[in-house]
């Protein structure tokens, strides 16, 4: 290694040490708030590892992430500003210590969720592989993260796909207060590599050149297409778990003292003088320069403005994909599944960044056949069969989306989304926001949901409100083959994460006319499926068909129903609903999800807030009974709302004014 590289590593270690010592002081002063996790003691891991990377390579980090950022080239002033919650910070003060990142430097983010970075790093490595850009990356995580499911899912997947990633466990012996020996069935995490057919090595994490050497070897292997490696760096954090923590002692003073004697910075400094010919003065000069940098960083942060409410609101969503809906020849009859496949095929044709992944999506084209035939057309790199690893699938979607691809991940049956929740809710929905509103997260998670085909309680749920509740997500629910194709096209082109719900009854339901050419239905625009004067009926997905049946039956009884299909559940086209309610003065909402705490409750509240003076009757909701879905077919039909239930609700709100008593 050349003198300048050695000096640079020393400078980085000092920067990390002094930065976090400074942050601890600022925390005590109240200038850094919330929490922050000091990297002091572990400097050699970040400095040694990042010295083996180029700027194009990524790092993904964890809650104890300041060291990784600094080692990958982040500027101390913008980091300090972020920690003080200032608008000049890397994330405009919206992320803070646990989310600090800079995509321009390929720092993909610290993370508040233990283990999540392993997933995002796996996805970023897949992105490098698919883009063929020769870049690799390091996913840093703690010993605690090795006992999360995502560790196992991702190491397996990365090994099967030979992804260019180095998994670097910083084993500082404790996960918060829990010692490794009390939480882990083996004595070395590196032994787990054997289970995933990759090299595993344990290294002295307080010896920066030793760390550098093993990471360099793993990076070379990854760049060569030979796949991932697992490195365990044995180290120790000097301070408590976090700057906030005020915990009873769980480590002995002797143990802390023993590790302090192994101080990585002092050890390297000694070697620079004794082995590599550095003079004391040269090292003092570096020290003085780092001190000056720190003083300037603090002054920059203190002098910076705080973010505004507008910064906050602008950071949640990238602009939605909202082209005008084209008027096209009606096309031919396609099933719902065929319409989905056509949208996927046309978008994959049009945009090489689009790819599909999920369980059984390749060889058999998914169990609902929505991707059947795509692998023959686009190959197994772009149509990827995955292991049954929902966390890893969702993580690959997030990791590829934030690094320039447009993944479409299939969840085989929507109930399995429970296993993807962290990646969807904590990662995809918040990534842009936590990074100050700059990045886009163009991913689609799609799959069949809902009941009606006797799949019982764990394969039949309608879970849309879990996602409509979350700022940062877009939720789409097509009601016909036409909507399926046009909405999926928009979903793929949308720059925000999209939850795309495909009701199972639509898969087995009637075909519909679908234009042949590619078209997109704007995100956030409802459609009036049937115009009417007497009552507004808002219905979603499979309930739209039931709503139209109810409307035609009621027509015979002299009741004129306006049926609105929101199509996008979030962001909701509130104007279209309010416009209709102001015309009809009555509102019924029908959906298959549970009535209690459901989508209808939100629509009802919104209308009550914005248009209560126009209402002539109470708002009624028609939704599933408050039970899980039964297997018994007669009972299942009683749980799912029917056209009869809708007819009854509408009569209740319309006829109350037409009865003699009301006159
Ligand atoms: C999924 C999840 N579980 C628990 C926590 C709370 N938590 C934050 S850090 C931490 C300990 C993590 O230990 P380790 O991975 O070894 O990292 P270290 O703090 O030692 O650097 C815990 C329990 C969390 N943030 N995320
Ligand atoms: Mg730990």
Query: What is the tens place of the pLDDT at every residue in 522-551?
Result: 999 999 999 999 999 999 999 999 999 999
Give the whole-angstrom CA distance, residue 25 versus residue 13: 19
DSSP string, 279-324: -HHHHHHHHHHHHHHHHHHHHHHHTSPPPPHHHHHHTT-PPP--PP
Using CB atoms within 10 A of its CB, is residue 509 exposed (0-12), middle (13-18) or buried (19+)?
middle
Mean pLDDT of 639-648: 98
Residue 288: how many CB atoms within 10 A of its CB? 10
The 10s digit of each residue's pLDDT in 290-327 is 999 999 999 999 999 999 999 999 999 999 999 999 99
Beta-bridge partner residues of 536: 562, 587
Sheet containing strand 587-594, edge to edge, reads 527-530, 561-565, 535-539, 587-594, 620-624
The 10s digit of each residue's pLDDT in 556-596 is 999 999 999 999 999 999 999 999 999 999 999 999 999 99
Which mutation among 37, 63, 183, 189 tests ligand 1's pocket best, with the greatest number of atoms within 8 A of CB? 63
Tokens, residue 530: 């049937």
The 10s digit of each residue's pLDDT in 336-385 is 999 999 999 999 999 999 999 999 999 999 999 999 999 999 999 999 99
CA of 197 to the centre of ligand 1 (A): 27
Is the predicted pLDDT of residue 177 greater than 90, yes or no? yes
pLDDT of residue 659: 61
Is the predicted pLDDT of residue 518 greater than 50, yes or no? yes
Atom in ligand 1 nearest the alpha carbon of residue 242? 19
CA of 352 to the centre of ligand 1 (A): 38
Nearest CA, atom 25, ligand 1: 113
CA max distance for the chain: 103
DSSP state of 261: T
The 10s digit of each residue's pLDDT in 43-52 is 999 999 999 9
pLDDT of residue 658: 75
- Residue 102 φ then ψ, to 5°: -150, 105
Which mutation among 114, 259, 425 tests ligand 1's pocket best, with the greatest number of atoms within 8 A of CB? 114
Is the predicted pLDDT of residue 246 greater than 90, yes or no? no
Atom in ligand 1 nearest the alpha carbon of residue 241? 19
CA of 237 to the centre of ligand 2 (A): 8
Give the ligand at the shortest distance from the Cα of 42.
Answer: 1
Mean pLDDT of 94-103: 97
E strand spans, 372-443: 383-385, 406-410
CA of 149 to the centre of ligand 1 (A): 14
Per the listing, tokens 């000096």 go with 7
Contacts of 447 (CB under 8 A, 6+ apart): 358, 410, 411, 412, 413, 414, 417, 500, 501, 502
Tokens, residue 273: 């003088």
Residues with CB under 6 Å of ligand 1 are: 63-64, 112-114, 142-145, 172, 174-176, 241
Nearest CA, atom 6, ligand 1: 114
Residue 28: how many CB atoms within 10 A of its CB? 10
Residue 62 falls in the annotated catalytic set: no
Give the whole-angstrom CA distance, residue 393 versus residue 414: 14
Distances in whole angstroms, Cα of residue 102 to Cα of each of 91, 190, 435, 440: 8, 29, 8, 13
Give the ligand at the shortest distance from the Cα of 234.
Answer: 2
Nearest CA, atom 8, ligand 1: 114
CA of 179 to the centre of ligand 2 (A): 8
Mean pLDDT of the chain: 97
Per the listing, tokens 């049009």 go with 350
| 3-class SS of residue 202 | strand
Angle at 270 between CA 269 and CA 271, to 5 degrees: 90
Q: Nearest to residue 49, comparing CAs of 41, 58, 40?
A: 58
Is the predicted pLDDT of residue 151 greater than 60, yes or no? yes
The 10s digit of each residue's pLDDT in 437-466 is 999 999 999 999 999 999 999 999 999 999
Tokens, residue 97: 């210590």
> 374-380: long-range contacts at Cβ-Cβ below 8 A with a sequence spacing of 24 or more?
374/341, 374/344, 374/345, 374/348, 377/345, 377/348, 378/345, 378/348
Q: Which of 62, 68, 99, 459 is catalytic?
A: 459
Could you tell me if 186 and 192 are in contact, meaning their C-beta atoms sit under 8 angstroms apart?
yes
Give the whole-angstrom CA distance, residue 23 versus residue 67: 12
CA of 112 to the centre of ligand 1 (A): 8
- Residue 544 φ then ψ, to 5°: -65, -45
Give the whole-angstrom CA distance, residue 38 versus residue 250: 17
The 10s digit of each residue's pLDDT in 379-436 is 999 999 999 999 999 999 999 999 999 999 999 999 999 999 999 999 999 999 999 9
Q: Nearest to residue 381, comparing CAs of 412, 411, 405?
A: 405
Give the ligand at the shortest distance from the Cα of 45.
Answer: 1
Instruction: Reply yes or no: is the peptide bond before residue 571 cis, omega within 30 of 0.
Output: yes
The 10s digit of each residue's pLDDT in 210-220 is 999 999 999 99
Angle at 20 between CA 307 and CA 147, to 5 degrees: 95
Give the whole-angstrom CA distance, residue 361 versus residue 377: 13
Is the predicted pLDDT of residue 126 greater than 50, yes or no? yes
Which mutation among 175, 180, 259 tests ligand 1's pocket best, with the greatest number of atoms within 8 A of CB? 175
Atom in ligand 1 nearest the alpha carbon of residue 42? 21
Distances in whole angstroms, Cα of residue 196 to Cα of each of 183, 230, 384, 490: 21, 10, 19, 38
Atom in ligand 1 nearest the alpha carbon of residue 143? 16
% of the chain at pLDDT higher than 90: 98
Give the whole-angstrom CA distance, residue 547 versus residue 537: 7
Could you tell me if 305 and 88 are in contact, meaning their C-beta atoms sit under 8 angstroms apart?
yes
% of the chain at pLDDT higher than 70: 99
Tokens, residue 240: 């408590």
């Amino acid at each position: 290694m050349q003198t300048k590289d050695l000096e640079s590593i020393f400078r980085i270690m000092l920067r990390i040490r002094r930065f976090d010592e400074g942050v601890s002081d600022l925390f005590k002063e109240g200038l850094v708030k919330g929490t922050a996790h000091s990297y002091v003691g572990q400097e050699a891991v970040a400095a040694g590892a990042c010295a083996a990377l180029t700027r194009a390579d990524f790092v993904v980090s964890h809650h104890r992430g300041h060291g990784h950022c600094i080692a990958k080239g982040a500027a101390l002033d913008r980091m300090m500003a972020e920690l003080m919650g200032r608008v000049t910070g890397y994330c405009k003060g919206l992320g803070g210590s646990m989310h600090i990142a800079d995509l321009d430097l390929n720092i993909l983010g610290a993370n508040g969720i233990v283990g999540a970075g392993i997933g995002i790093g796996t996805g970023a490595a897949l992105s490098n592989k698919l883009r063929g850009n020769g870049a690799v990356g390091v996913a840093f995580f703690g010993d605690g993260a090795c006992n999360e499911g995502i560790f196992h899912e991702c190491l397996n997947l990365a090994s099967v796909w030979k992804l260019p990633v180095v998994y670097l466990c910083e084993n500082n012996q404790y996960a918060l207060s829990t010692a490794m020996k009390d939480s882990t069935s083996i004595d070395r995490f590196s032994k787990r590599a054997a289970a995933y057919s990759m090299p595993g090595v344990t290294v002295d994490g307080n010896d920066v050149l030793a760390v550098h050497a093993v990471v360099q070897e793993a990076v070379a292997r990854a760049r060569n297409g030979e796949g991932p490696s697992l490195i365990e760096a044995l180290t120790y954090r000097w301070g408590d778990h976090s700057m906030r923590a005020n915990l009873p002692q769980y480590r002995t003073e002797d143990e802390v003292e023993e590790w302090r004697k192994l101080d990585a910075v002092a050890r390297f400094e000694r070697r620079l003088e004794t082995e590599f010919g550095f003079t004391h003065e040269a090292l003092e000069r570096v020290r003085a320069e780092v001190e000056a940098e720190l003083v300037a960083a603090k002054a920059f942060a203190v002098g910076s403005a705080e973010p505004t409410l507008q910064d906050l609101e602008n950071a949640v969503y990238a602009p939605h994909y909202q082209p005008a809906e084209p008027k096209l020849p009606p096309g031919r009859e396609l099933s719902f599944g065929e319409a989905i496949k056509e949208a996927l095929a046309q978008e994959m044709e049009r945009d090489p960044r689009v790819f599909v992944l999920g369980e059984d999506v390749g060889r058999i084209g998914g169990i609902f056949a929505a991707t059947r035939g795509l692998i023959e057309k686009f190959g197994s790199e772009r149509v990827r069969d995955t292991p049954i690893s929902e966390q890893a699938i969702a993580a690959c979607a997030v990791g590829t989306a934030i690094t320039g691809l447009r993944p479409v991940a299939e969840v085989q049956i929507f109930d399995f989304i429970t296993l993807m929740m962290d990646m969807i809710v904590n990662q995809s929905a918040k990534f842009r926001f936590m990074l100050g509103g700059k990045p886009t997260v163009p991913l689609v998670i799609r799959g069949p949901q809902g009941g009606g085909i006797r799949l019982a309680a764990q394969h039949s749920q309608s879970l849309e409100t879990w996602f409509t509740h979350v700022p940062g997500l877009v939720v789409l629910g097509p009601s016909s083959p036409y909507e399926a194709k046009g909405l999926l096209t928009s979903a793929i082109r949308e720059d925000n994460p999209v939850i795309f719900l495909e009701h199972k009854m639509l898969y087995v339901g009637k075909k519909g006319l679908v234009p042949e050419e590619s078209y997109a239905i704007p995100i956030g625009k409802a459609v009036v499926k049937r115009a009417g004067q007497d009552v507004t009926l808002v219905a979603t997905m499979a309930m739209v068909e039931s709503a139209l049946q109810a409307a035609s039956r009621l027509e015979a009884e002299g009741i004129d129903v306006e049926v609105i299909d929101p199509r996008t559940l979030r962001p909701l086209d509130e104007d279209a609903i309010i416009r209709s309610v102001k015309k009809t003065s009555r509102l019924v909402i029908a959906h298959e999800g549970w009535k209690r705490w459901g989508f209808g409750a939100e629509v009802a509240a919104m209308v009550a807030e914005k248009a209560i003076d126009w209402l002539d009757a109470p708002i009624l909701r028609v939704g599933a009974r408050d039970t899980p879905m039964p297997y018994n077919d007669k009972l299942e039909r009683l749980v799912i709302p029917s056209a009869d239930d809708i007819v009854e609700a509408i009569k209740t709100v319309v006829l109350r004014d037409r009865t003699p008593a009301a006159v």
